[in-house]
Chain A
Amino acid sequence: MSAPPLQIEDLTMAYGPTVVQRDLNFDIKKGDIFIIMGGSGCGKSTLLKSMIGLIRPASGKILYKQRDIWDSEDDPSRSFLRSFGVLYQRGALWSARTLAENVALPLEEFSDYSPAEIQELVSLKLALVGLAGYENHLPAEISGGMQKRAALARAISLDPEILFFDEPSAGLDPITSRRLDDLILQLRDTLGATVVMVTHELASIFAIGSNGVFLDAESKTMIAQGAPREMQDNSDHPTVQEFLSRSLSEGQQNNEH
């Protein structure tokens, strides 16, 4: 078996003197849907931003295909970034451009396709996320769920090897976020991509997560690792148990009354 595409080694992240997370060590295997879990403010999003080249870690390595993406003095090079697709928490579609232009921009920048081919690709990617016919809409003209999907179309425009999701279901109703989960699964299977996802949506974690880590805000490091189900069964850390069994304890409370 080949080496995992993403490896995190002794990673420490900090804002100035304030350490956010330290000594993170984990591998993300090909085809995984890897969930980064943890309470609010524990550094999940910071970790994600380090992986996609936005925030330089204080120390440690983030290896993509065994090369450190933060190796050089400069910002991570374009060669890494074009293998990554990112879906931001709020979609982050470029608001001054139509959906088609949003999806087309990465293609125009990184590929040698002719304008006609790019048009076709854009139509395909938008159709894949169920937005065929919305090419000429501006992001502000469509609903929040559709914006997420359009952002997903942009994230997959370059057939990325790794897809990053920052709280994909934030602000979506249960049905819409469930459909988004299904879509993520299908895209993983058809594109053969690896998915890294920051979320605290329990339903998503158990429905699609195949592996993950749990970051803790108090001890400032990872306190559990593995498939979400196993974590729930095996981890004896109270925070992990409380987090993963939230729905259970709510049910118990309701029974008591």
Chain B
Amino acid sequence: MKESFKALLDDSNPKRSELIFSGNWQERSKTTARELLRELTVDHQIGAVVVINASKLSNWDSSFVALLYALILELEEKQIDCDLSNCDPGIVKLLELARAVPPKEKQTSKRNTILEIIGKRAIKFRKQSKDVLEFIGECAVATLRLFTGRSRVSRDDLLLILKESGPDALPIVTLISLLVGLILAFIGSIQLRQFGAQIYVADMVGIAMAREMAPIMVGVIMAGRTGAAFAAQLGTMQVNEEIDALRTLGLSPVDVLVMPRMVSLILMLPVLTLYGLAAGILGGSLVGFMALDVTFWQYIYRTWEAVQLVDMWIGLSKGFVFGILVAICGCYFGMKCGRNASSVGLAATSAVVSGIVCIVISDAVFAFVCNILEI
């Protein structure tokens, strides 16, 4: 039998009305508490009583109880009583349990005005800037301790992290750099062919890779790969109280955890940049002899002529700086991670996003400085 209900008015007593439920009230009854209320023609006065008669119910589940609960809450607001004596004891007990603790007063979630949002963001930004500066300061002091031999980095830790952030990244760096070299060469060749100057594709690819593309691409790859990994590792250690355990031993987590990561990224990023440059030039040369009738050795010779040592130095120093930035972003967000699983995810995301933003900003600074110095 389908779910159904009927509202009855007691003629002798205008303050009393009865709700009779019958049928099968299972799995999301279609009726809502408001519908029930509409049917009730009870005088909305203090002292009115609604009798709930569920004795003819064949089946019910908690969706029925939820409906009653919502109804009772609505009636209570109007100060109308409910009589549950004709209900299944299970229903009565569930309702009693639900109403045992009075509901917490709902906090009126007041909408923030634009000004408030800006203000809160500003305060948060100020606090976070202070935190970041403190962290950078701590890292600087720890670096000093490391080089004066007052703290040491576990050799095993360092080797493992070096491997993770160096050799393990080779396949993806190869792929990306090769393709970037290829793309640059294709774009360049379309323009240069108009003047019959295809050979200068080698100049363009070589210089662009050395000065810009290799460090940036490697930096972005490392931010996404290693920076995120650092943040997630340190964040999980924070969640597991592992960092507290270090602190209570009087060990500085920056010495033990941040330093090996920082050192290995600073060592590995320039090396990977060089490698990325080589892969990019290889990619360019592929286009050279497939599409432009330039032999491999001609292409390499042209590149050798075009790319100056200073271009290499700029690329390498960018790699060095990006290494510091990615390591700081990864480790900072890891160390400041909250104590639950979702904050680890947040830490990894923030590490990647801020890492990439820092890379692009510092690259702009590089471009500016190089322009002034005319190199």
Interface residues of A (CB under 8 A from B): 49, 52-54, 75-78, 81-82, 84, 86, 88-96, 105-106, 109-110, 154
Contacts and interface: CB of A to CB of B under 8 A. Distances in A.
A92 B241 contact: yes
Interface string B243-258: 0111111110000000
A88 B250 CA distance: 16
A200 to B, nearest CB: 19
B250 A81 contact: yes
B314 to A, nearest CB: 36
A105 B249 contact: yes
Interface in B68-87: none
A110 B245 CA distance: 15
Contacts of A154: 245
Contacts, number: 53
Contact of A54 (B233, B242, B248, B251): B248
B251 A88 contact: no
Contact of A88 (B157, B236, B245): B245
17 contacts: A49-B244, A52-B248, A53-B248, A54-B244, A54-B248, A75-B247, A76-B250, A89-B241, A90-B240, A93-B242, A94-B246, A95-B237, A95-B242, A105-B251, A109-B249, A109-B251, A110-B249
A95 B244 CA distance: 13
B260 to A, nearest CB: 11
B250 A86 contact: no
Interface in B217-249: 233, 236-237, 240-242, 244-249
Interface residues of B, number: 16
B245 A94 contact: yes
Contact of B250 (A49, A82, A92, A95): A82
A109 B150 CA distance: 12
Contacts of B157: 96
B234 to A, nearest CB: 11
A110 B242 CA distance: 18
A207 to B, nearest CB: 25
Interface of B: 157, 160, 233, 236-237, 240-242, 244-251
A75 B237 CA distance: 20
Contacts of A94: 237, 242, 245-246
Contacts of A49: 244
Nearest to A87: B245
B230 to A, nearest CB: 13
A53 B236 CA distance: 21
Contacts of B247: 53-54, 75
B152 to A, nearest CB: 10
B245 A92 contact: yes
Contacts of A89: 241
B237 A86 contact: no
A119 to B, nearest CB: 15
B331 to A, nearest CB: 15
Contact of B244 (A82, A88, A109): A88
B240 A86 contact: no
Contacts of B250: 76-78, 81-82, 109-110
A32 B247 CA distance: 25
B241 A88 contact: yes
B107 to A, nearest CB: 17
B155 to A, nearest CB: 12
Nearest to A79: B250
Contacts of B246: 94
A163 to B, nearest CB: 12
Contacts of B245: 86, 88, 92-94, 154
Nearest to B243: A92
A95 B248 contact: no
Nearest to A82: B250
B251 A90 contact: no
Contacts of A84: 248
A196 to B, nearest CB: 13
B249 A81 contact: yes
A253 to B, nearest CB: 15
A76 to B, nearest CB: 8
A83 to B, nearest CB: 11
